[in-house]
Structure formats: structure tokens, C-alpha cells
Chain A
Amino acid sequence: MKKSYYSWKTFFAYRAQAVIWSVFSLLHVFVTVLIITVLYQVSPGIAGWSYYQVLLLSSLGGIAFYMIYYFFDPSYVASTLRNGGIDAELTRPVSKFAVIVTSNSSVWSLITIIGNLVVLVYAALHVQITIISLLSSIALFVLGTITLLLFLLMLALISYHVFKEGNFVGRVLTFAQDAGNYPLPVYGTIGQLAFSLALPIGLAFYYPSQILFGELSLSSFILIILACIVIGIITYKSFNFLLSRYTSGGG
């Protein structure tokens, strides 16, 4: 809580920068909406999804990504490990996982979350949603986003060990965000599998959107929950293993 308060104070320390970052955060949402709108002006649909369904999917994706960013920036984690900037924190008698997850709060991402939330509500008003599908979707969204967070933590550590810097994970994130704006069947069966298991953005917001529109069977729902748990455990274990191999880069 104190850390979050400190991050907000730091953010507003440079007022001009804070305003510019806020504009930048909202511009990201605007560009996504613009692209989807133009695409639907020239085509009646993408992979059988309506305009509002795709808007809802992309905004849900934006919320998932920026919720993760709110706690930590994977690129920053890799870069900080590289220059030993997190060493002092890691020696404290608290969970190393907690230290890294809260290492760099990008508070400006809250503005993007709010922007995406506005788009989400607007889109949701144009699609039919039942209470059961909404609750199932929220449950899956939370579980999927935690899985994605654990995956990105592991990726940050891989970025540190293999590439010795954070640009790699930053680029993967840009790629994942762009890919997540559209329904996964667009990328074919292999693409859908890759975005569900290898880079699990589908678990965080594609399948939650599908269940929201009542397009996911109960067996698929259970299978996705199982996938979230399995991937979550594997990535968490990998994160701990990679962190145990960490040797300070600072000095």
C-alpha cells in the first residue's frame, strides 16, 4: 500500500510528464478502437465476431495487460536484475516472488485500465450477457490473468538469463497485446493453440470473452481452468528455479 502511494507521488512529481503519460495511456485505447472500427467499416465481421464483441475482447485484453503492468513491468524486472538494482530488496526476509511482483508499479497503467473499462462497458451494452456467463467470465478472467502474470514473470527471468536485458520481454508484450486484440481463430488452429499454451493470452481474455458470449461449452470451460492451473504451476516453478540461478549483475 505504502509502495503504491509512493509510486503515485513519484508519478505526479513531474506534473507535465504525468499529463503526457495520461494522454499516451488513453491514446493506446483510442488507436485500438480506431483500428477495429475501420476494419469493420470494410468488412462485416472478423472470424464471425461482431464489432462490439471484438471491442469487448480487445478492451478485456487491455485491462488484463495493464493490471499486470500496474504491479510490475516485466522489461523493468529484467533490466533491474541485469544491473543489480533489485539486490537490496531480495535480501529482505519476505517472499522473493512478492518483491519482484511489486518491484515497479507503473501507476499510469491505471488510466489505460479506466479507458479500457469505458470501452468494455460501452461494448457490453450492445451484446447479450447473462448473469451466469458474466460470473463464469470474471472467474476465468481472474484465473487467466494470474496465469499470464506468472508467465510474464518467468519470461522476464528468461530475458535476463538469455539476453541479459529487458527489451526482449518488452517486445513479446507488444506482440502479445497486438495479437490479443482479435479473436484467436483468426490465427488458425496452430496460432490459437500457441496463444493459449505457449503465450497464454487466450486464457486471460479470449476464453473469458467467449464464455461471456455463451460460446464456450462446460467441458471446454473446465479444460481451460485446468490449463490455467497447470501452466500457472509450471511457470511459477520455473520462475523460482530461474531466480535461484540469479547472480547479481551490479557492483
Chain B
Amino acid sequence: MGSPFRNWRVYLAFMSINLKTAFTYKGNFIMSLVLRVGLGLLMVFVWTAVFLNAKTSTIRGFTLPQMYAYFFLLSAIGITTMSSIRLIIQNDVQQGKIATSLLKPINYPLQTFYSSIPMTVVWSVFVSIPLVVLISIFVHFNLSTSVLLLLILEMAIAISLANIYDFLLGTLAINFVNIWGIAGVFFWTTSILEGGVMPLNLFPTILNKILMFTPFPIMGYTPAATVLGTVSMNYITTTILAGLFWIAVLLVLSIFRWRSVVRKITVVGG
């Protein structure tokens, strides 16, 4: 696929354009932020009711404040691992732009990657980081240097996985043209398996053990549980190694996939 650092000025231009686009609809951006926090607040209310009825201070190792923090952390992690590569590829396929992009002296997969980064950076800087700071103030978790380093490593793996996944999903647009349905199924499934709807340790033990070896926990549950200190070092190590393994597998798969589909691209010209 080529080195991501060659022709970096060209890719920087793509980043710049998309960064400007990210700020075009300011009102929409602010409302998205409000509603995203609102979704976390809904879970705060629901889990408060659950804890009140259960008449217990912990549920599967989570106290109520930790449960609050978990959903906001998951929200912050979800924003940071967000990728729009599939949307870029889908739009290019639908509008026929992919043909002209392939004629240009740039690497198309890298172009989609660099076009996707700005939105993630904007959301991470303006939403994820403030959200984590706010949670740390309200829930008082101790973010030590070792935990912070571990979190950075986990997030790097999660971001890489999310982007490779999204690229693979995007390439399906070359076969199906419209991949909204496929993307929907994928994201719902991923959201459950990465702990987006609830902490993974609330699932049956056997399912949780199987999930440890999949790429999903590292994309949500593991980073959040690392920060909250509700997960063992053994679990963290296993999910990090599994994440690295899956990055290698999916990267190889996406290289082969791209080489295969790039020959089949047909566009509706006009």
C-alpha cells in the first residue's frame, strides 16, 4: 500500500480540507456533542435505578460511580476510535470519484485514511479529552503514569483496528455500492462485543473468556476498565496481545482485499 510518509504534503492537504469541513456545521457539531453526552446521562439514570433496586454497592465489581464513569469513558473511546473511511470509499464509489482518484499519483487507501483523521482529531480534542477530564474530577479515579501509558498503548491498538476494519468495510462498497446495512449490522455487533452497551463482565463468564481472544474488548471495554481499575493485569495483557495479533491479520487481509477489488472497480460514468 506504500509508506504513509511518502508524499506527506499531498496527504496533509487532504487532512487540511477535511479539517475545515469538520468545522463547517458548528451548530450541528455542538448539538452532536450535547446529545452524545445525553446518551451517557441516560445510562447514568438507568444504572442508578438498577443499583437502587438491587440494594447493593457493587455489581460484578463495579460500584455505581464506576458504572457512571464506564459509560462516559466508553463514549470518549468510541469517539476517538471513530473512522469515516468506509463513508469516504462508499461516496467515492457511488459518485464515480474512485476512478479519477485511482488515476492520480497518490495511494488511494492512504488518501482515505488521511481524510478520515481530521474528524477523529477534532472530536477527540474537543469531546473525548474534556470528557475524560470531567469524569476524573467527578469519579476521582487515579490516572497514574503506568495506567496512562497502558491506556495510550491500548488506544493506539484500538484506533489501528478501527481504521483497518473501516477500510475493509469500505471496500465492500466496490461490490455492493451501498453498504449502510452492512455497516449497521457490523457496528451494532461490534458495539455489543466491545462492551458498548454494558461492561463485558456482565455477560456469561464463558462468553467473556472467548471474547478475550477477539479484537473487540481492546476497542472499548479494556481501556475503560484499565482506567477504572476493575480488570486484572492478565486480562489486559491478553487483550493487548490479541489486539496486536488481529491488527497483523486484518492488515494482511486488507492488502490482499484491496489488490483483489481494485481490478474489479467499475464506475457509472457520465
Query: Interface on A for B, CB 8 Å cutoff?
Result: 14, 16-17, 20-21, 23-24, 27-28, 31, 34-35, 38-39, 41-47, 162-165, 167-168, 171-172, 174-175, 178-179, 182, 186-188, 191
* Beta-carbon contact of B28 and A165 below 8 Å: yes
B39 contacts the other chain (CB 8 A): yes
A42 → B minimal CB distance (Å): 5
A141 and B41 alpha carbons, distance in the complex (Å): 27
Bound: A165/B189 CA distance, A: 28
B: contact size bracket: 35 or more
B106-129 Cβ-contact flags toward A at 8 Å (1 or 0): 000000000000000000000000
Cross-chain contact B25 with A163 (CB below 8 angstroms):
yes
**Which A residues are CB-close (under 8 A) to B59?**
42-43
Q: Say whether chain A's binding surface is mostly helix, strand, loop, or mixed.
A: helix
Closest to B178 in A: A17
Q: Pull 17 A–B residue pairs with CB atoms less than 8 Å apart, ordered by A.
A: A17-B178, A23-B181, A27-B185, A39-B50, A39-B198, A42-B60, A44-B53, A45-B53, A163-B31, A167-B28, A168-B32, A172-B35, A182-B46, A186-B48, A187-B42, A187-B45, A191-B45
CB distance from A128 to the nearest CB of B (A): 21
Give Cα distance in the complex from A168 to B30, angstroms: 10
Report the tally of A-B residue pairs with Cβ distances under 8 A: 100
Q: Chain B: residues with CB nearer than 8 A to chain A?
A: 25, 27-28, 31-32, 35-36, 38-39, 42, 45-46, 48-51, 53-54, 59-60, 176-178, 180-182, 184-185, 188-189, 191-192, 197-198, 202-203
**What 3 pairs between A and B have smallest CB-CB spacing?**
A20-B181, A43-B54, A21-B181
A174 touches B39 (CB 8 A): yes
Evaluate contact between A165 and B39: CB separation under 8 angstroms: no
A109 vs B27: C-alpha distance in the bound complex, in angstroms?
29
Give, as a whole number of angstroms, the nearest-CB distance from B30 to chain A: 10
Q: How far is the CA of A164 from the CA of B26 in the complex (A)?
A: 11
**Min CB gap A75→B, angstroms:** 12
Contact (Cβ within 8 A) A20 B185: yes
